[in-house]
């Protein structure tokens, strides 16, 4: 079973509820509020494993690049620009989709993994604790949350602490929660 | 020399748009031919990276200088890498901004405003 703790507003007690639930039930505590994870403040677990989260960024070989600009044109995130000196990459804009790599006619683009955050895995006495940490200044939390979701995709019981609001980060964290349909059916019954 | 002005319209009488990344048009003025021409800003409808797309539009127009109100960090980095000069103006028509530039009263812009400034209060990320 996966239970996700949500709130439309920040500072209302999501972490308090999530941590208490995890402690009471013995479920795995998962902090998906990767921009400011704070569940570990209460649980202070012993960190046993740290996994880096990376996204692929293009690297342009200037000796092969003919500055045709096809990569910049295909980029949906405006991460590449054509300048007089060659192609310029704004790495923070890059989502790592790889379209530029496929489009480049001269094969001047290769990919290099860039770390944008990490996942801490540890234990607090009886419960397993997982949290995602997005690096300061990184704009994109999605890949970190996805990496956590992949990690807890097995059948283990979890309490998931989320980001506030209804942003992409929240949607990402609740995507694939199997019991969501059950919650909906309960709502239908009540209405 | 070609000067690009961030504009709300396509005419020389159009008002200058003080946002660089999210302005609808760029009006270019050629100091040799003394003619105006306009282009749609590729950044206006971008979901992200508007400043970069706008700067790319200006680079593709072969501009030597840009006149605008404010500019974000990415666009400024890109234009500076291309050796394009950036000047600041406030609440003018395109024509008046060009006059201001010609009379050497143009103020050079060297510091960017924070990212997403041109999106208005309600459209910025966060909660």
Domain ranges of chain A: 2-53+116-190, 55-114
Q: Look at residue B119 and tell me whether its pLDDT is greater than 80.
A: no
| Right CATH for A55-114 from 3.30.70.20, 3.30.470.20, 3.40.50.2300, 3.40.220.10 | 3.30.70.20
Per the model's pLDDT, the better-predicted residue between A153 and A41 turns out to be A41
Asked if A164 lies within 8 A of B127 by C-beta distance, the reply is yes
Asked if B56 lies within 8 A of A88 by C-beta distance, the reply is no
Residues B83-94 have a mean pLDDT of 87
Q: Look at residue B127 and tell me whether its pLDDT is greater than 50.
A: no
Contacts of B72 in chain A (CB under 8 A): none
Asked if A78 lies within 8 A of B52 by C-beta distance, the reply is yes
Tens-digit pLDDT profile for residues A19-76? 999 999 999 999 999 999 999 999 999 999 999 999 999 999 999 999 999 999 999 9
Contacts of A79 in chain B (CB under 8 A): 49, 52
Q: Look at residue B122 and tell me whether its pLDDT is greater than 80.
A: no
- A170 token code pair: 């929240």
Share of chain A above pLDDT 90, in %: 73
> What CATH class is the domain A2-53+116-190?
alpha beta
Q: Look at residue B34 and tell me whether its pLDDT is greater than 80.
A: yes
Confidence label for B55 from pLDDT (cuts 50, 70 and 90): very high
User: Which positions ≥6 away from A182 have C-beta within 8 Å?
Assistant: none
CA distance A24 to chain B (A): 30
Pairing of strands B35-40, A109-124: unpaired
Share of chain A above pLDDT 70, in %: 97
Residues B84-91 have a mean pLDDT of 86
Q: Residue B121's pLDDT is what?
A: 57
Q: Residue B22's pLDDT is what?
A: 93
d(C-alpha A115, C-alpha A57), whole Å: 10
Among B47, B78, B83, beta carbon nearest to A81: B78
Q: Look at residue B123 and tell me whether its pLDDT is greater than 60.
A: no
What global pTM score does this model have? 0.78
What does R_g of chain B's alpha carbons equal in angstroms? Answer: 13
User: Which positions ≥6 away from B34 have C-beta within 8 Å?
Assistant: none
* Long-range contacts formed by A20-26: CB under 8 A, 24+ apart: A21/A159, A22/A127, A22/A129, A22/A159, A23/A127, A25/A157, A25/A159, A26/A126, A26/A127
> What are the two backbone dihedrals, phi and then psi, of residue A101, each rounded to the nearest 5 degrees?
-60, -40
Contacts of A93 in chain B (CB under 8 A): 48-49, 52, 74
Tens-digit pLDDT profile for residues A159-185? 999 999 888 899 888 877 666 676 777
State the number of CA atoms in the 13 A half-sphere of A142 facing the CB: 11
Among A10, A83, A164, beta carbon nearest to B78: A83
Contacts of B52 in chain A (CB under 8 A): 78-79, 81, 90, 93
C-beta atoms surrounding A46 within 10 Å = 9
Buried b or exposed e, range A47-66, using 16+ CB within 10 angstroms:
eeeeeebbbbbbebeeeebe
């Amino acid at each position: 079973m996966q239970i996700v703790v949500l709130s439309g507003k920040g500072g209302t007690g999501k972490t308090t509820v999530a941590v208490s639930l995890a402690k009471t039930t013995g479920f795995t505590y998962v902090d998906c509020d990767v921009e400011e994870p704070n569940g570990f403040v209460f649980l202070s677990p012993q960190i046993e494993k740290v996994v880096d989260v990376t996204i692929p960024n293009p690297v342009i070989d200037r000796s092969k690049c003919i500055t045709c600009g096809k990569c910049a044109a295909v980029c949906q995130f405006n991460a590449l620009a054509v300048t007089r000196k060659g192609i310029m990459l704004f790495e923070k804009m890059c989502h790592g989709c790889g379209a530029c790599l496929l489009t480049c006619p001269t094969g001047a683009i290769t990919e290099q993994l860039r770390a944008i955050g990490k996942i801490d895995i540890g234990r607090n006495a009886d419960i397993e604790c997982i949290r995602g940490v997005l690096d300061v200044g990184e704009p994109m939390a999605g890949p970190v949350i996805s990496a956590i979701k992949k990690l807890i995709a097995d059948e283990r019981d979890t309490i998931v602490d989320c980001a506030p609001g209804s942003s992409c980060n929240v949607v990402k964290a609740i995507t694939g929660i199997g019991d969501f349909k059950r919650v909906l059916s309960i709502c239908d019954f009540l209405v | 020399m070609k000067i690009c002005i961030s504009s709300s319209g396509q005419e020389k009488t159009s008002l200058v748009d003080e946002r660089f990344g999210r302005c609808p048009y760029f009006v270019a003025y050629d100091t040799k031919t003394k003619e105006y021409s306009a282009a749609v800003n590729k950044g206006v409808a971008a979901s992200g990276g508007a400043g970069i797309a706008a700067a790319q539009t200006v680079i593709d127009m072969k501009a030597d200088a840009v006149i605008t109100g404010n500019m974000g960090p990415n666009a400024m980095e890109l234009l500076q890498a291309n050796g394009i000069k950036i000047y600041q103006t406030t609440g003018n028509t395109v024509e008046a901004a060009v006059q201001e530039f010609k009379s050497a009263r143009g103020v050079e812009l060297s510091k960017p405003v924070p990212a997403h400034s041109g999106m208005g209060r309600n459209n910025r990320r966060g909660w």
